[in-house]
């Protein structure tokens, strides 16, 4: 067997594999002898079928199979030994009038080579590192919600604005029959609110589902229907009032502070605001970090220019799906995926050059920390080490979980690298302003 390579240019090459009869004949003969021993052909006893008949019936199929196996093994070994970094997979070149009725064969493969480039981490201008905080309005809304949540309901005979009405909601055609609770301050529009004002127990109120609430998802809870039905649901329902309550807000006192934050230093409303702001900042950090990853990705693609073997990649894209694509479809698919491919190459080089590897011990520590966070949410703040180890071992026995957690850990490593090595400028914004700025 002989393998040679011709470099067309820096990004494209042709590999030629010559296979001689001596490379495959021993394996082919052995398989055909085994076929002969076990063949069941009418008119012949088992094991006594003439080899000529076995070759005639099975010879070419066995030959093709063994040559293809040999070809694939040789090509993979060659790429590894030559340390060729290729994009996609080698593409076989079509050969006119190829004939299997010969002893020696020659095959050619097109290769798309990974471009060589120097990694440039210098951005044209500093990238914004958003520090997202809760604004005064958000903090006040949170306090109001807390007061409602820990407040008490006072039964009433007649409904007024701001009250909570409980009733049986029915629409027979849509199979809706549910005891729902409606806070009147969540309704959309004065017209809907006025239908409830003055209502008494036993009254029947007709409502349209479309545009009933400020948030359509509230309708899901009230009607107890599937999420996918909510946004397009436009029907009339009847509500028979069974209960009317006024929600009295809880007082902002030490008793409430201790319920909310046991063993904390919250002693007054200002402390409460500071605690809410602190907790919100932790929640918002993930969004700020994700935006940093997005912005750095764009900047690195912009800063690191290199050519790709476009024609090869478009040809390869045509072959890799469940069904072949046309040239035009493959071109469109390449355009869609080009930026992702470019960043994949940049990120791979960055990870390799800076040794940002994910070791198993790092992954185990990362997984254990995530498990502790989840357990803390359910009140288990001091789990035993053995319990954590057992849960982590179960999680890391699943290959899909290993892949998912490894990607998360690598993202954290990349984030830490960017914060230390990319030019950044910190900007403090409220959540509302962050949304406006990013999604404007």
- Domain ranges, ordered by start, for the chain: 2-113, 152-248, 269-438
Question: Tell me: the pLDDT tens digits for 390-420?
Answer: 999 999 999 999 999 999 999 999 999 999 9
Superfamily classification of domain 2-113: Trigger factor ribosome-binding domain (3.30.70.1050)
CA distance 352 to 346: 10
Question: Tell me: the pLDDT tens digits for 102-151?
Answer: 999 999 999 999 999 999 999 989 999 999 999 999 999 999 989 988 99
pLDDT confidence of residue 401: 94
Neighbours of 197 (CB within 10 A): 14
| End-to-end Cα separation, the chain, in angstroms | 62
Neighbours of 279 (CB within 10 A): 13
User: What's the burial of 57, exposed, middle or buried (CB within 10 Å: 0-12/13-18/19+)?
Assistant: middle
**Residue among 302, 329, 307 nearest 318 (CA):** 329
Within a 13 Å sphere around the CA of 331, how many CA atoms are in the beta-carbon half? 4
pLDDT confidence of residue 13: 96
For the segment(s) 152-248, the CATH number from 3.30.360.10, 3.50.50.60, 3.10.50.30, 3.90.650.10 is: 3.10.50.30
pLDDT confidence of residue 46: 76
pLDDT confidence of residue 132: 95
**Residue among 308, 314, 316, 310 nearest 92 (CA):** 316
pLDDT confidence of residue 209: 93
pLDDT confidence of residue 420: 95
Contact 278, 199 (CB under 8 A): no
Question: Tell me: the pLDDT tens digits for 199-242?
Answer: 999 999 999 999 899 887 889 889 998 888 887 889 999 999 99
Contact 314, 334 (CB under 8 A): yes
pLDDT confidence of residue 291: 95
Which stretches of the chain score pLDDT less than 70? none
CA distances from 48 to 32, 40, 53, 63, 382 (A): 13, 9, 11, 22, 75
Contact 422, 123 (CB under 8 A): yes
pTM of the model: 0.73
């Amino acid at each position: 067997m002989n393998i040679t390579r011709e470099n067309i240019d820096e990004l494209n090459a042709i590999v030629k594999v010559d296979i001689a009869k001596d490379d495959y004949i021993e394996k082919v003969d052995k398989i055909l002898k085994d076929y002969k021993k076990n063949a069941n052909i009418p008119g012949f006893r088992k094991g006594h079928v003439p080899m000529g008949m076995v070759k005639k019936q099975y010879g070419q199929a066995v030959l093709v199979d063994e040559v293809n196996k040999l070809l694939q093994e040789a090509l993979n070994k060659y790429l590894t030994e030559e340390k060729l970094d290729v994009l996609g997979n080698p593409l076989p070149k079509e050969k006119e009038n190829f004939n299997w009725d010969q002893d020696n064969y020659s095959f050619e493969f097109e290769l798309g080579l990974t471009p060589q480039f120097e990694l440039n981490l210098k951005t044209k201008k500093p990238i914004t590192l958003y520090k997202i905080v809760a604004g005064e309005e958000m903090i006040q809304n949170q306090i109001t919600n807390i007061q409602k949540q820990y407040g008490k309901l006072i039964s009433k005979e007649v409904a007024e604005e701001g009250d909570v009405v409980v009733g049986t909601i029915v629409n027979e055609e849509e199979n809706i029959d549910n005891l729902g609770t409606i806070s009147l301050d969540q309704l959309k529009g004065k017209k809907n609110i006025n239908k409830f004002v003055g209502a008494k127990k036993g009254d029947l109120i007709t409502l349209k589902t479309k545009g009933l609430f400020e948030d359509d998802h509230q309708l899901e809870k009230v009607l107890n229907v599937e999420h996918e039905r909510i946004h397009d649901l436009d029907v009339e329902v009847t509500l028979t009032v069974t209960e009317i309550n006024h929600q009295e807000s809880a007082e902002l006192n030490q008793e409430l502070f201790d319920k909310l934050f046991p063993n904390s230093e919250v002693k007054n409303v200002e402390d409460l605001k500071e605690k809410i702001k602190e907790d919100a900042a932790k929640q918002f950090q993930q969004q700020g970090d994700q935006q940093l990853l997005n912005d750095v990705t764009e900047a690195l693609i912009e800063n690191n220019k290199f050519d790709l073997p476009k024609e090869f990649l478009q040809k390869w894209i045509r072959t890799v799906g469940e069904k072949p694509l046309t040239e035009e479809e493959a071109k469109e698919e390449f355009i869609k995926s080009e930026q992702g491919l470019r960043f994949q190459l940049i990120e791979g080089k960055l990870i390799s050059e800076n040794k940002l590897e994910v070791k198993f011990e790092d992954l185990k520590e990362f997984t254990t920390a995530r498990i502790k966070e989840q357990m803390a949410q359910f009140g288990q703040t001091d789990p035993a080490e053995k319990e954590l180890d057992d849960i982590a071992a179960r999680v890391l026995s699943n290959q899909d979980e290993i892949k998912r957690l490894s990607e998360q850990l690598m993202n954290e490593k990349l984030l830490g690298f960017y914060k230390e090595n990319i030019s950044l400028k910190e900007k403090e914004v409220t959540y509302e302003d962050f949304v406006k700025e990013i999604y404007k």
